[in-house]
Amino acid sequence: MEWAATMWRSQMFWRLALAYTFLPLAAVVLLGIAVLNRVERHFLDQTEGELNAKAALVREAIRDVPAHDAAALQRRVEGLRASANARVTVLAADGRILADSDEEPALMENHAARPEIQQARESGSGTTTRYSRTLHLPMMYLAQAADGAGGVGFVRVALPLERVRDDLAGLRAIVGIAALLTGLVATGMAFTLARRVTRPLRDLAAAAGHIAAGGFGRTVNAVGPGEVADLARTFNHMSGRLAEQFGELRRLERIRQEFAANASHELKTPLSVIKAAAETLLEGAGDDPIHRQLFLEQIATQADRLHALILDLLSLARIEARAETFEPMEVRLGAEVAACVERHRAKAGAKSQTLEAEPPTGGDVAAWADAEAVEQVLDNLVDNALKYTPAGGRVRVRWGADSRSAFLAVEDTGIGIPAADLPRVFERFYRVDKARSRELGGTGLGLSIVKHLAQAMGGEVAAESRVGAGSTFTVRLPREQTSPILHAAAATAS
C-alpha cells in the first residue's frame, strides 16, 4: 500500500508511463493515417481511370449525333446512362449543357466555370471531386475535350464516391479499433514497465534517505533493468562500506573515550598523592624530620611515575601519528640483546632473578629496523617480565630468524596471564591485575608501545601465556627493507 501511494505521487512514474503509452499509440495512429491516405488515393486513382475509359466511350458514342439535334442527343445520353453506369453530361464549347443523363439540360446552369471544364479546356482533360448539390452526394467529375464535331465541346462523366467513402469508413473503424486496443495494451505495459523502473529507484532514494539519517548498512534489491540493477549493486556495496567505516569510527571513538578516561585516571592518581603530600607538609609536617622525609619521598616517587607516564603517552602519540623519526638500517640483534641484558642486570639481581640471553645456534641475526626502536621494544619487554616474575625466577631473551623474518622472544617464569585477558594485553592502560600493576609502578602503556613500534617497523608482536607458568612475548621484524612507514621515515630523515 505504501508503494502504491508513493507510485501515484511519483513524477518519474507518470513521465515514463505516459511516454510508454504515447509512443506506440502515436505510431499506430500515424500508421493508420498513412494507410488511409494511401487507400483513399488508390480508390480515387482507380475511379479516375474508370471515368477516363467511360468518357472515351461516351465521346465515341455521340460522334454521329449533331449537337443542334437536342432531342436525339438527349436520347443518346440517356441511353448511355445505363451502359456507362455513370452520369453523362454533354457540353458546348462555351459551357452550355447540351444533354444530361440525370437532369433537364434547360434547367442546368452554364458549366464553363467548373474546375474540370477549365482543366479540360487547357489540357484536354480535367478531374475534380466535390459535393453535388443536385444529387446530394460526393462525386468525382471527369471532363474530356471533344473534337468539336457537331458542335460538342466537352464530354463529362461522374461517379458517386459512396463506395470509396464506405470502404474508407470501414478502414477507419479498423484503424480506430487497432488504436484503442494498442492504447489499452500499451497502457498496461507502460504501467508495468514504469513500475519496474521506478520502484527500485524509489527504494534507492528511500535507502539513501535512511543512510543520510544515520541508518548505515541499508541495502536494496538489485532488480530492474541492467543499469538500475548495477546501480543497486553499487549502492549496496557503498552502503556496506559506509557501515564498515562507521563501525570502525565508532570503535575508534570508543577507544578514544576509553583512552581519555584511562589517561585521566592514571594522571589523577600521582597528582592526588603529590597534592596530598604537599598539603600535609604545608600544614606542619615539614617541621617533623621523619614525616617530612616520608612525604618528600612520596612526592618524588609519584613525580617519577607521572614523568614516565607522560613520556610514554608522548611516545605512543608520536608513533601513532607517524611523527616519530625512524632511521631504518641493518640492526644486529645480538648486540641489542646484550646491551639490554646489561642495563637490567642490576634490577634482576635485586630480586635474585636470573636474566640471560640465548643466542641462535646459527650465529647472529640482523633485522631491517630502527636501532632505538628495537632498544625501546627490548627494554619494555624485559622490564615488564622482571616486574611480573617473582623473586628467584628467570627471564630469558632469545632471538633468531626464519626464511620470512627475524624474531626477538622474551620468556619469563612469572605469574602468567589468563586466557581471557591475553587478547587485550596490548591495549592502552589495560592491566590484568590493576592493583598489582600500579604497586609495581607500571604505566600500562609499555606493551601498547611495543605493539605500535613493531607495526611501524613492518613487524608484529604476539603473546603466549599460562597462569602460574609464565609468559612469552615474541616480536617479529622484517629482514629486508619492506616497511612503508620506515621508507617514509627514511625519506623524511634524509
Identify the pLDDT of residue 2. Answer: 45
Q: How many CB atoms lie within 10 A of CB 213?
A: 9
Identify the pLDDT of residue 434. Answer: 53
> How far apart (Å, rounded) are the C-alpha atoms in residues 207 and 212?
9
- Lowest mean per-residue pLDDT among 21-25, 118-122, 260-264, 478-482: 260-264
- The cell for 128 is 475534380
Q: How far is CA 36 from CA 48, 167, 176, in A?
A: 18, 10, 11
Cα 282 from chain centroid (whole Å): 70
CATH 1.10.287.130, the chain: domain bounds: 217-321
pLDDT at 241 over 80: no
322: three-class secondary structure by DSSP: coil
Q: What percent of the chain has pLDDT over 90?
A: 21
Q: Kindly tell me the burial class for residue 78, based on how many C-beta atoms sit within 10 Å of its own C-beta (0-12, 13-18, 19 or more).
A: middle
- Lowest mean per-residue pLDDT among 126-130, 207-211, 475-479: 207-211
- The cell for 347 is 634490577
> How far apart (Å, rounded) are the C-alpha atoms in residues 16 and 198?
9
Q: Which residue has the higher pLDDT, 328 or 295?
A: 328
For CA atoms 356, 362, 363, 368, the dihedral sign is negative
The H-assigned helical ranges of 287-441 are: 289-320, 333-350, 371-387, 434-440
CATH 3.30.565.10, the chain: domain bounds: 324-493
Identify the pLDDT of residue 7. Answer: 46
| CATH no. of 324-493 | 3.30.565.10
Identify the pLDDT of residue 250. Answer: 74
Tell me: the pLDDT tens digits for 300-320?
877 777 776 676 666 666 666
**Mean pLDDT across the stretch 334-349?**
92
Confidence of residue 408 (pLDDT cuts 50, 70, 90): very high
pLDDT at 268 over 80: no
464: three-class secondary structure by DSSP: strand
**Mean pLDDT across the stretch 479-490?**
54
> How far apart (Å, rounded) are the C-alpha atoms in residues 424 and 292?
41
**Mean pLDDT across the stretch 198-219?**
66
For domain 1-215, the question of CATH label 3.30.450.20 is answered with yes
**Mean pLDDT across the stretch 161-189?**
74
Cα 347 from chain centroid (whole Å): 63
Average pLDDT, the chain: 78
Q: The whole model's pTM is what?
A: 0.48
The gap between the terminal CA atoms of the chain, to the nearest Å, is 68
The architecture (CATH level 2) of 217-321 comes to Orthogonal Bundle (1.10)
Long-range pairs for 267-271 at CB < 8 Å and ≥24 separation?
Answer: 267/306, 267/309, 269/302, 269/438, 270/302, 270/303, 270/305, 270/306, 270/309, 271/302, 271/306
The helix (run of H) or strand (run of E) holding residue 475 is strand 470-478
CATH 3.30.450.20, the chain: domain bounds: 1-215
